[in-house]
A = this chain, B = another copy of it.
Amino acid sequence: MTGSLVVVGTGPGNADLMTPATSAVLAKATDLVGYGPYLDRIPTIRADQCRHASDNRVELDRARQALSLAASGRQVVVVSGGDPGVFAMASAVFEAVEAGEPAWRELDIRVEPGVTAMLAAAAEVGAPLGGDFCAISLSDNLKAWTTVERRLKAAAEADFVIALYNPASKARPHQLGRAFDLLRSIKAAETPVLFVRAAGTVDSKIVTTTLAGADGTTADMRTLVIVGASTTRQVGRWIYTPRSEPGVRS
C-alpha cells in the first residue's frame, strides 16, 4: 500500500471552524500525529486509528515520525492548530523532508488550508485586518531577536496592521513589552491594540487598548495581538481598518 501524509489545521479551536475538507482527510487517516492538545480537538472517528501525541517544541521529531509512518505505507495526518502553513507544522514537515531520506521526496504529501488565529481574532473584534497587514512571530527560538525588531520597525514605518503570533510564553515573558516599546517609538500613542485570547473558542476573551496603554504581560501563549495601522479605529463596539487611505475613494 502506498502511504501518504497530509498536514492539516484544526482552525482556532471550535469544531465549526474546521473545514469539511480537513474533516474528510481526518476520517481517512490511519495515523494522527500532533501536539497532544491539538489531537484532543479531534473526536474519535475510527477505533483503528492510531494517535501519536507529542509535546510542544519537538516539531522536527514529530515531522520525521510522520514521514517514516507514511513511507511505511500508512495514511498519516499531521495535525496543527489554525492553518498548518502559518507558524505551524507544514514548514517543519518540509524541513524534515529536505534533511531526511531521499525517498521522502517521492511521498504523496499535501497541505490542507485552515482558519489561522489572526483571522478568528480579527473577526471577533470587527475588521482590524481590513488593509495591508503582516504577521510576525515574536518567538526568538528560531530566529534572532534583531530580525524580529527589524521586521517590527519596517512594518510600523510602512503603516501595516501588525498581527503578532507567539507573543509570550513562560520562557519568553519580556519580548512583547520590548516590541511595544519599539512600536511606541514609531507609531501614534492612540493606535488601537487588541489582545484576543483563545480566539474562535468558547473561552475567547478580548482586551482593547491603545499602544500607549498596552502592557506586554496581558498576553500568554494563547493570545493573538493585533496592532492597528494609522487608520485603524473604533466605530460602535467594533474596531476596523478602512479599505481606503484618507482622501482616496474609488
The distance from the CB of A59 to the nearest CB of chain B, in whole angstroms, is 8
Task: Tell which of A43-51, A142-150, A213-221 binds the partner.
Answer: A142-150
Beyond A18-B19, A141-B250, list 15 extra A-B contacts (CB 8 Å): A83-B119, A85-B130, A90-B126, A91-B131, A91-B242, A94-B127, A105-B236, A113-B119, A113-B120, A114-B115, A115-B115, A132-B134, A132-B151, A151-B159, A153-B158
**Complexed CA–CA distance, A127 and B8 (Å):** 12
The distance from the CB of A83 to the nearest CB of chain B, in whole angstroms, is 5
Q: Size band of the A side of the interface?
A: 35 or more
The verdict on A35 contacting chain B, using a C-beta distance below 8 Å, is: no
Q: In the complex the two chains form, is A155's CB within 8 Å of B142's CB?
A: no
- Chain A contact residues, majority secondary structure: mixed
29 contacts between A and B (CB under 8 A): A7-B127, A11-B19, A12-B113, A18-B20, A19-B19, A57-B250, A85-B119, A85-B127, A87-B243, A90-B130, A91-B240, A94-B126, A95-B240, A97-B235, A97-B238, A105-B236, A109-B238, A111-B122, A114-B115, A116-B119, A132-B137, A133-B134, A134-B134, A134-B155, A134-B160, A142-B243, A142-B245, A144-B245, A154-B157
For A143, list chain B residues within 8 Å (CB): 131, 244-245, 248
The verdict on A208 contacting chain B, using a C-beta distance below 8 Å, is: no
The verdict on A112 contacting chain B, using a C-beta distance below 8 Å, is: yes
Residues from 67 to 119 in A contacting B, C-beta threshold 8 Å: 83-87, 90-95, 97-98, 104-106, 109-116, 119
The verdict on A179 contacting chain B, using a C-beta distance below 8 Å, is: no
Residues from 125 to 177 in A contacting B, C-beta threshold 8 Å: 126-137, 141-144, 147, 150-151, 153-155, 157-160
